[in-house]
Each structure stands twice: as structure tokens, then as C-alpha cells.
Amino acid sequence: MRVLILGGDGYLGWPTVMDMAAKGHEVCAVDNYLRRNMAQETSSEALVPAPNLHDRAGIFRSVADKAVRVEIGDCADPQFMEALFQDFRPEAVVHYAEQPSGPYSMMGVREARRTFSNNLDATFNVIWSAIQFAPECHIIKLGTMGEYGTPNIDIEEGWLDVEHKGRSQKFLYPRQAGTLYHTTKVLDTDLLWFYVRAYGLRVTDLMQGPVYGLSTAESDMDERLLPNFHYDDIFGTVVNRFLVQAVAGIPLTVYGKGGQTRGYLNLKDTLQCVDLALKSPVDAGDLRILNQFTEQFSVNQLAGKVKQVGDRMGLNVAIKSIENPRKEPEEHYYNAAHSGLIELGLQPHYMTDDVVASMLEEVIRYKDRIDERKVLPRVKWS
């Protein structure tokens, strides 16, 4: 299949590009280095510098004998996107091309505007490029579990059947997110759902939880193919920060009470999920929503896991609660459905002690590169 991967330089994008190419698809990887630029601007570079996307593709070709087409351009630019669709005529589009950081989106007006314009315009352009030049293509869009927020009822898989005054209606599950970044994904889903109904598009919206892991079948072939590992407060996830803090010998910083609970998954499972979505296309006029995670953890549980494994490795890990820079419930109900991808065939890789240990070992390899100034919160909500 001709698979267009937007945001192909990202933490998920690059492993997806390699995975899809390894599976024999004709892959076009698109990126404009927005995240690299924002990371540099905010002094939040990844632990290990990555070669540029052309070079990554070159290394991958030499190692795996698989060619990948690379296009450097801005998915928020309609001319660029339309020309790309016209030329490549994708059968599937994997749309990761969004500013991916909650904290970045909360820094101020400039960062908010950049997040808002980039993310909404990219999605709008995907929709209209598909309508015009590839109406049958399957759009696989990366949403986020963060769209749902932390409601006091169970989170269902995309939709909610509501009984009200003796009548019933199925709705998109109501969403309210905790950062502007997550809110742009709420808007993306609203917009996609409208155009699915109006123009019969085929869309899978993957509500993904935070992803961890540095190892995939392809990235393990050569260290220059490593996924981007951000451990800072802006582009890093809580798992990555904890791993780096454990290795650097500084306390794991829990924001507030640490009861913040989310659904997590291994990077290997992201690749499986996208592949499973690709292999089971949706009908014209259908929006399929899948909750993409395998296990729920609270921040305290994650800290405990990293401490337990780290201590066994002699890292002598401390845990410290600090003032929460975010506006978010620190103790809340959380129970989210996630059976759709299992039904499609997902074989989860859980966060075992071995997995945590291997991530810690990977970070230890690059211990000298850790910049402790990147780890503590630099962005406060309002």
C-alpha cells in the first residue's frame, strides 16, 4: 500500500516509517522539523541527537535495504499538502503532524497560537487533500486519551450511549482536555467527525495514551535509528523524566499528590496498533475510534516502578513530591475502556520490570548527555 506518514520525524513517526517500510509498504515520510525547532528554542533537545530525516532514511536503507521517500514540508501549508496528495495518491495516511506538547501549548500566546494553527490547519489540510485527491484513502489520525480528560464516569471507546428522559442517543463521548494541545485534538475529532458525515471519508481516530520505550525491531538494528527520547518537562513524558532522574541520581519529581492516572503503552504496541488499524480499513462515512493503551498507572505507581527496578540496579532512587505546575485533578476516578484494539489482534507488551530495566540501561548508556536543567518544570499553567 502507498502509506503517507505525516510527522515522520517524530518519536512515533520515525519508528512507524521504518515499521511500515519493513512490512513492504511504499512509504512517504513527511516532516518540517517543527518539533526539533521548538525543542531547540525551548532548550529541550532529545537525549541523543538524531540524524535528519533524509539521513535517517539513508541509514535505514543501508541497514535494512528498504527505501523510504522523504518530503520536507509543512502539513499546515495547503499547497504543499495538496501537491503531495496529488503526486503520491496515498491509500492510507497516518497523521501524526501535530505539535505534541501540552506544556509547550501552555507557555504563552505565541506558543498557543503556533499549536493551534499548526494542529488545526494540518488536520484541515489532510481532510481537504483527501476529499480532493484521495477520497477513498484511510485516514489514521493520532488523537489522545487526553481528549477525554478525567471524567467521573467510565471512559468508553469514542462513543457514549446516553439515556435521557426516556429517550436515547449515541454521541461522540464528551471531551474536555487539560491543555491547549489536548484541546486541539478534541477540535480535530469534531472536525473529522463532521467531514466523515458530510463527505463519506474513512477515518480511524486513535486515542492514544502516553507511550514509553526506545526499542523496536528496526531501531534495534542501528543506534542511529533510535527513536527521539525527550526527557525534559516540555516534550518529555513522565516515564522518561523518571528514567532520567533515576539514572542521574536526582529524585523522581511527582507533581502534587501523584494520583494522576492515565493509560500507557509500549512504543512497540503503537506500531502494532497503527498496523492493525491499517489492515482493517473503515467503511466510507465511518469514524472508528480506538482507545490506544494497554495499562493504567498513576504517577505514584510509575515512580514506584522506576524506584523498585532502579534500586535493584543500584541506582538508589528517591521520590519527591513537588508543587504541581499544571491545573489538573491529582486524585480522580479513571477507568477507560480499551478493548477495540485487542479485538483487532493487539498483543500487548506490558511495562514489566524487565522493560523498565532495559529502558534504564539504555538511558545509562547516554548518562553523560543528561542535562539536569531540562528536568524540572519550567512551564506553569496560567
**Does residue 360 touch its own copies according to CB under 8 A?**
no
Contact between 177 and its own copies by CB under 8 A: the answer reads yes
Measured at the alpha carbon of residue 29, what is the angle toward residues 26 and 33, in degrees to the nearest 5? 175
Binders of its own copies among residues 196 to 215 (CB under 8 A) are 197-200
Nearest Cα residue to 345 out of 288, 247, 264, 274: 274
Q: Which is nearer to its own copies, 5 or 139 (CB)?
A: 139
Q: Is residue 167 involved in binding its own copies (CB under 8 A)?
A: yes
**Closest separation between CB of residue 194 and its own copies, Å?**
4
Note whether 284 binds its own copies by CB under 8 A: no
Contact between residue 205 and residue 289 where contact means Cβ atoms under 8 Å apart: yes
Residue 382 makes contact with its own copies by CB under 8 A: yes
Alpha helices in the chain (DSSP H): 13-22, 34-41, 53-64, 78-88, 102-105, 109-133, 180-199, 238-248, 267-279, 299-312, 340-344, 353-365
Query: Any catalytic annotation for residue 144?
Result: yes
Residue 193 sits in the site that holds its own copies (CB under 8 A): yes
* Residue 283 near its own copies by CB under 8 A: no
Which of the following is catalytic: 11, 96, 173, 181?
Answer: 181
Hey, which residues between 137 and 166 contact its own copies (CB under 8 A)?
151-154, 160, 162-165
Round to whole Å and give the CA distance between 223 and 200. Answer: 43
Contacts of residues 351-357 at CB distance under 8 Å and 24 or more positions apart, as own/partner, are 351/212, 351/264, 351/266, 351/295, 351/297, 351/305, 353/305, 353/308, 353/309, 353/312, 355/213, 355/266, 356/243, 356/305, 356/306, 356/309, 357/309, 357/312, 357/313
Phi first, then psi: what are they for 366, rounded to 5°?
A: -110, 25
Binding-site member from 174, 322, 339, 361 for its own copies (CB under 8 A):
174
Task: Map residues 95-134 to x or -, x wherever contact with its own copies holds by CB under 8 A.
Answer: -----------x--x--xx--x---x---x---x--xx--
Smaller CB distance to its own copies: residue 213 or 263?
A: 263
Contact residues for its own copies, defined by CB under 8 A: 78, 106, 109, 112-113, 116, 120, 124, 128, 131-132, 151-154, 160, 162-165, 167-169, 171-172, 174-177, 179-180, 183, 186-187, 190-191, 193-194, 197-200, 327, 333, 381-382
